[in-house]
Structure 1
Amino acid sequence: MNSTAEWISRSVSRLRAAAPVADKEGAKGAEKLARASTDKSGVTDVVPKVAAPRSTHERLQATLRRGQEALSPRALRRLHTDLQAVVAPQVSELEGGRRAQAVAEWYATAELEERRDMWLLLCEQFAPDATEFKSARQRYEAAAGTAEEGQAEISLRRALVSPRTRLLQRFAVFPDGMRFLVDMRAELLPLLKSDKRLLALDAELEQLFSTWFDVAFLELRRLSWDSPASLIEKLIKYEAVHDIRSWADLKNRLDSDRRCYGFFHPRLPNEPLIFVEVALVDKISPSITPLLDESAAPVDITRATTAIFYSISNTQTGLRGVSFGDSLIKHVVETLTQ
Structure 2
Amino acid sequence: MDRQDGWLLTDLFRALGERRGESPARGVDGGEPSEASALEQLLAACDVLMSDIGEASLRAVAARALAAYGALDADGRCAFFTHITRAYDADADQVRAAFHRWEAARDAGGRGGEELVRLFDAVEPARQQLLRRMNHAPDATLALVHMRADLRGLLREHPELRPLDHDFHHLLTSWFNRGFLRMAEVTWNSPGDLHDHLLRGERVHPMAGLDELRRRLQPEDRRVYAFFHPATGDVPLIFVEVALVHGLPDTIAPLLDPGPSLDPARADTAALYSINNALDGLAGVSFGSFLIKQVIEQVGEQLPHLTRFATLSPIPGFRRWLEEQAGQDTELGALAGELGSLTGADALPDEDADRIRPRLFAALARYVALERREDGRPLDPVARFHLGNGSAAWQLNWPANSSPEAWRQSYGAMINYRYEPDQLERRHENFVRRRTVALGGPLRDALAATAAAHEAP
TM-score (norm 1): 0.71
What is the deviation of 1:99?
A: 0.3
Quote the Cα distance in structure 1 between the aligned partners of 2:41 and 2:233. 34
Give 5+ residue unaligned stretches, structure 2: 1-17, 23-35, 302-457
- Residue 86 (structure 1) aligned with residue 54 (structure 2): no
Greater relative CO, 1 or 2 (CA 8 Å, sep 6+)? 1
Partner of 1:108: 70
- Counterpart contact for 1:206–1:322, Cα < 8 Å: yes
Quote the Cα distance in structure 1 between the aligned partners of 2:92 and 2:83. 17
| 1:240-266 Cα shifts (integer Å, max 9, x gaps) | 122223423222211222111122111
What is the deviation of 1:88?
A: 2.6
Quote the Cα distance in structure 2 between the aligned partners of 1:250 and 1:268. 22
| 1:19-70 Cα shifts (integer Å, max 9, x gaps) | xxxxxxxxxxxxxxxxxxxxxxxxxxxxxxxxxxxxxxxx96979xxxxxxx
| 1:249-297 Cα shifts (integer Å, max 9, x gaps) | 222211222111122111111211121111123332342222224231x
Quote the Cα distance in structure 2 between the aligned partners of 1:295 and 1:61. 65
Corresponding residue SS for 1:174: coil
What code does the residue aligned with 1:314 have?
A: N
- Residue 263 (structure 1) aligned with residue 209 (structure 2): no
Quote the Cα distance in structure 1 between the aligned partners of 2:154 and 2:187. 37
What is the deviation of 1:157?
A: 1.3
Quote the Cα distance in structure 1 between the aligned partners of 2:246 and 2:165. 46
Quote the Cα distance in structure 2 between the aligned partners of 1:196 and 1:308. 38
Partner of 1:161: 124
Where do 1:72-221 residues align within 5 Å?
79-92=42-55, 94-144=56-106, 146-221=109-184
Quote the Cα distance in structure 2 between the aligned partners of 1:61 and 1:140. 40
Which of 275, 298, 312 does residue 239 from structure 2 map onto? 275
CA 1:222/1:86 → structure 2, altered by over 3 Å: closer, same or farther?
A: same
- Counterpart contact for 1:273–1:316, Cα < 8 Å: yes
Quote the Cα distance in structure 1 between the aligned partners of 2:256 and 2:156. 39
Decide which structure has the larger Cα Rg and report it: 1
Partner of 1:226: 189
What is the deviation of 1:101?
A: 0.9
Quote the Cα distance in structure 2 between the aligned partners of 1:172 and 1:62. 29
Partner of 2:437: none
- Counterpart contact for 1:172–1:178, Cα < 8 Å: yes
CA 1:170/1:301 → structure 2, altered by over 3 Å: closer, same or farther?
A: same
Give 5+ residue unaligned stretches, structure 1: 1-58, 64-73
Corresponding residue SS for 1:191: coil
Corresponding residue SS for 1:236: helix
Corresponding residue SS for 1:113: helix
- Residue 323 (structure 1) aligned with residue 286 (structure 2): yes
Quote the Cα distance in structure 1 between the aligned partners of 2:45 and 2:213. 46
Quote the Cα distance in structure 1 between the aligned partners of 2:159 and 2:76. 17
- Residue 287 (structure 1) aligned with residue 248 (structure 2): no
Partner of 1:12: none
CA 1:153/1:326 → structure 2, altered by over 3 Å: closer, same or farther?
A: same
Corresponding residue SS for 2:223: strand
Quote the Cα distance in structure 2 between the aligned partners of 1:214 and 1:176. 17
- Counterpart contact for 1:219–1:264, Cα < 8 Å: yes
Quote the Cα distance in structure 1 between the aligned partners of 2:80 and 2:207. 38
Partner of 1:68: none
Corresponding residue SS for 1:279: strand
| 1:171-209 Cα shifts (integer Å, max 9, x gaps) | 222222122211212112232233344222211111111
Quote the Cα distance in structure 1 between the aligned partners of 2:42 and 2:184. 40
Partner of 2:366: none
Quote the Cα distance in structure 2 between the aligned partners of 1:113 and 1:151. 43
Quote the Cα distance in structure 2 between the aligned partners of 1:310 and 1:77. 47
What is the deviation of 1:325?
A: 6.7
